[in-house]
Amino acid sequence: MSSPSQTSVAEVPKQPIIFKFPGLKVDTRLKVFGQEFHVHSAILRLYSAFFRTFLDSPDKIPAPASALFRYEYVSVVDADGTWGLEVELKCGDQKEVSHTLSDSEKSLQTVSDQRTTKTGTTDHTSTKRSLSRPQQVLDLLAFERLLLAIYRKRFRVTSVGELARVVELANFYCALPAVAQSLDGVLLDSPETVEKIPQHSIATLEIAYKLRHSILFREALIHVVATWVEGSRSLDHNLELASAVTASYNRLQIQSLKVMYNILRTTRESASLAETFKRAIRSLDYDAPNGTAQFFRTIYAEWPDRFLITDAKSSLEDLLSNKLILAKLVPNTKPFQAGAGAYEKKFLCASIEDHELPWDREAVDW
């Protein structure tokens, strides 16, 4: 059942990727850039609000009883270069039957209709534009990973960008909770991606926000706050994230000021600490966004023995604590700490309380 709209990654036909589930028979074929996926409509309905709404929408011609698949979808590229799945057999304009949909179905119908608006047609037999081969390969891989998440199967990613693309597709097909449920396993199986979080902290924070994954959110938040500059507009496009980061950043500033006060108070009783303080001051990098964690690390390393058990020492330890979780799980990782090595100018103690997380923690579908 070939048509011009079925863009392919390679000329040579590929073997279908068949998903199995106990007690269910494969009844759905999805063709994405020439690659067939044989899946179960029951599973798609369960974990994707998109398929739950549109698999049996009134605009489709029912498959004959003798058909091998009850549902068949094919990838279609729009004029703007975006793509999505469309049913191969339709009867009439989708807009003519939209009045039969419920309010929630109409909301999802809007997503589908956007493709019509962009191309000016719902005819999937005419592709307005094709994707480059590398982009097809990346998107095909992302779509397969989305299906793996829907089927509760583990997969790995090699970069933050790869994970972001899976999340984009999950958002389009209204299956974000399915990817969120699989994320723990993904992160454990993808140490190379975890290692790249510091360089892509804002992108990772946005991924965690969309998936409502508190562990990844806190991990990314630590890195974002560590390099945050007061007045930054990096998150102006998302006020909820900007608010969460700003609150955590302000809390860190208050914490560091309290520690500084405790240190100054202790120098009155310790000449050696006073000398250490002066030396640390001379090496202070005033251009660092949060002062410099190295300043506090220097003082901590030479803290007088007779002041080991004090509130000042305890508050200093808290400021220099390492609250990263995922980074510590990466195999063969060298020990690291705030104020030393790659983190000599960064604190790793930024935090956020559960009630401060910028999403509804009781929601099960979003």
Give the containing element (helix H, strand E) for 255: helix 239-267
3 state SS of 13? coil
How far is it, in rounded angstroms, from Cα 257 to Cα 183?
Answer: 37
Angle (CA) 358-218-164 rounded to 5° is 80
pTM across the whole model: 0.84
How far is it, in rounded angstroms, from Cα 221 to Cα 236?
Answer: 16
How far is it, in rounded angstroms, from Cα 26 to Cα 44?
Answer: 11
**Beta bridge mates, 37:** 17, 30
Question: Which alpha helices (H) appear in 16-63, and where do they start and end?
Answer: 41-47, 49-54
Q: Which of 358, 351, 361 is nearest to 325 (CA)?
A: 351
Phi, psi for 75 (deg, rounded to 5): -75, 135
Query: Torsion-angle region of residue 285: left (phi > 0), alpha (psi -120 to 50) or beta?
Result: beta
Q: What sign does the CA torsion over 191, 197, 203, 208 have? A: positive
Q: What's the confidence (pLDDT) of residue 122?
A: 39
Q: Which residues contact 305 (CB under 8 A, 6 or more apart)?
A: none
Q: What's the confidence (pLDDT) of residue 59?
A: 74
Q: What's the confidence (pLDDT) of residue 136?
A: 94
Q: What's the confidence (pLDDT) of residue 123?
A: 39
| Contact by Cβ (8 Å): 88, 76 | no
Q: What's the confidence (pLDDT) of residue 284?
A: 74
Q: Decide the pairing of beta strands 17-18 and 35-39.
A: parallel
Task: Please tell me the number of Cα atoms within 13 Å of 87 on its side-chain side.
Answer: 24
Series of mean pLDDT values for 10-residue runs along the chain (366 residues):
38 81 96 96 97 86 83 92 84 37 49 45 46 92 98 97 98 98 97 97 99 98 95 93 97 95 92 91 64 88 82 94 95 86 93 96 91
Judge residue 110's burial from the number of C-beta atoms within 10 Å of its C-beta, 0-12 exposed, 13-18 middle, 19 or more buried.
Answer: exposed
Q: What's 293's DSSP letter?
A: H
| Contact by Cβ (8 Å): 154, 183 | no
Q: Which residues contact 170 (CB under 8 A, 6 or more apart)?
A: 146, 149, 176, 178, 179
**Beta bridge mates, 31:** 36, 74
Q: What's the confidence (pLDDT) of residue 291?
A: 57
Angle (CA) 48-50-52 rounded to 5° is 70
Calculate the alpha carbon distances from 68 to 63, 64, 88 in Å.
9, 9, 14
Q: What's 135's DSSP letter?
A: H
Tokens matching residue 177:
């909770």
Q: What's the confidence (pLDDT) of residue 290?
A: 52
Task: Please tell me the number of Cα atoms within 13 Å of 52 on its side-chain side.
Answer: 15
Tokens matching residue 147:
């299906």
The two counts, helices (H) then strands (E), for the chain are 15, 5
Q: What's the confidence (pLDDT) of residue 90?
A: 58
**Strand order through the sheet with 83-87:** 17-18, 35-39, 28-32, 71-77, 83-87
